[in-house]
């Protein structure tokens, strides 16, 4: 890339929690960002609009409110904007909602990713980075989760659609030589987070003196990953597009495909926290106690997640900095300020 050439990134799901944060990081580092978000009403539309308002303060940000599954839309947009990198975060999220509304997941997660890969095939960006989930490990009980583990037994429709997009992306990377990185996220939390996520729900309920639902009676572990750590890792990965590796590289790096410029990588905190301890951190940050409604494990949920992040550390020399007590405190400060 020439010295004065404008760096262009396309971010899908740019008004979403993670999309907003990565778009802002790119803008702060001199990139032009093309944001795509259909602003669905899966949760509070005003929150999405307020995130986007922050991004629209940058002259280098351009926004499109369209569904990624709309046939031909992304092909046209890629041809028009010629992004060097693509960060694909748009997805229908949520394990529970996928049980009631599976079609939304097929449309956005599978058809939307297909449309994105078609656009990448035709315009050849330097690097396509696609969000997946720790839920893809499914029924695996071998902890910590390592990228080389087989992931064949997803237990939710959400996870199954995300694993399907990993497979699709691998085929495209192999057939059309598209450098592709898939990251599996582990329970991301922090300011501007989603209202359907545990930290948001707990904070809101405790402040309103309402009971919180604690599943599996609090005996669950999650590898809570603070948003700033996640964004730093994604940003650094942008500059590391995979090439089709040699045999030696494949035997050394278990997260590389042997036949494609394709890498799978965990981004987590690598320190699982018991749900009960997480609730206690929220109580401390708020200075008040929760009324707990203890419930059995929900359909589609897993008992624990724990990321092995050695591959990430070796590749970009990065490890998470923010521990749960600090991260929860920052979220609570944001929440009180945002909702006054």
Q: What mean pLDDT value characterizes the chain? A: 93
**Could you write out the DSSP letters of every residue in 157-197?**
HHHHHHHHHHHHHHHHHHHH---EEEEEE--EE-TT--TTS
pLDDT digits (tens, 9 = 90+) for 205-236: 999 999 998 888 888 888 999 999 999 999 99
Q: How many CB atoms lie within 10 A of CB 70?
A: 13
pLDDT band at 95 (very low <50, low <70, confident <90, very high): confident
pLDDT digits (tens, 9 = 90+) for 273-307: 999 999 999 999 999 999 998 888 887 677 778 89
For residues 119 and 126, give the distance between their C-alpha atoms in angstroms, rounded to a whole number. 13
| Catalytic machinery residues | 158
Residue 251 has pLDDT above 70, yes or no: no
For position 33, what pLDDT does the model report?
98
pLDDT digits (tens, 9 = 90+) for 33-79: 999 999 999 889 999 999 999 999 999 999 999 999 999 999 999 99
pLDDT band at 16 (very low <50, low <70, confident <90, very high): very high
Burial category of 155 from C-beta neighbours within 10 Å (exposed 0-12, middle 13-18, buried 19 and up): middle
Residue 201 has pLDDT above 70, yes or no: yes
Where does 8-339 sit in CATH, by number? Answer: 3.40.50.720
Strands 221-222 and 273-274 turn out to be antiparallel
Q: Which of 86, 110, 102, 247 is nearest to 165 (CA)?
A: 110
For position 141, what pLDDT does the model report?
84
Average pLDDT value for residue range 194-215: 93
pTM across the whole model: 0.94
For position 253, what pLDDT does the model report?
62
């Amino acid at each position: 890339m020439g010295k004065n050439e404008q760096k262009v990134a396309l971010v899908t799901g740019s008004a979403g929690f993670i999309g907003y944060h990565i778009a802002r990081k790119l803008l702060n580092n001199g990139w032009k960002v093309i944001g795509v978000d259909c602003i669905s009403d899966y949760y509070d539309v005003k929150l999405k609009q307020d995130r986007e308002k922050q991004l629209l303060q940058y002259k280098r940000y351009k926004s499109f409110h369209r569904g990624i599954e709309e046939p031909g839309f992304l092909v046209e947009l890629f041809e028009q904007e010629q992004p060097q990198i693509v960060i694909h975060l748009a997805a229908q999220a949520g394990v529970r909602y996928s049980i009631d509304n599976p079609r939304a997941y097929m449309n956005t997660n599978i058809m939307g990713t297909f449309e994105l890969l078609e656009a990448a095939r035709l315009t050849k960006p330097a690097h396509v980075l696609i969000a997946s989930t720790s839920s893809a490990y499914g029924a695996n009980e071998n902890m910590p989760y390592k990228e080389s583990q087989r992931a064949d037994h997803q237990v939710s429709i959400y996870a199954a659609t995300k694993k399907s997009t990993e497979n699709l992306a691998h085929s495209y990377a192999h057939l059309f030589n598209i450098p592709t990185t898939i990251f599996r996220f582990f329970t991301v939390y922090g300011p501007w987070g989603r209202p359907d996520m545990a930290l948001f729900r707990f904070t809101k309920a405790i402040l309103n003196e309402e009971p919180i639902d604690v599943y599996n009676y609090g005996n669950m572990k999650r590898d809570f990953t603070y948003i700033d750590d996640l964004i730093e890792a994604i940003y650094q990965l942008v500059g590391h597009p995979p090439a089709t590796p040699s045999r030696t590289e494949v035997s050394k790096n278990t997260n590389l495909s042997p036949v494609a410029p394709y890498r799978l990588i965990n981004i987590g905190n690598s320190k699982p926290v018991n749900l009960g301890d997480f609730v206690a951190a929220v109580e401390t940050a708020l200075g008040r106690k929760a009324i707990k409604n203890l419930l059995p494990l929900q359909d589609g949920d897993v008992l624990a997640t724990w990321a092995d992040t050695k591959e990430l550390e070796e590749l970009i020399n990065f490890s998470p900095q923010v521990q749960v007590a600090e991260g929860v405190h920052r979220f609570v400060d944001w929440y009180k300020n945002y909702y006054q």
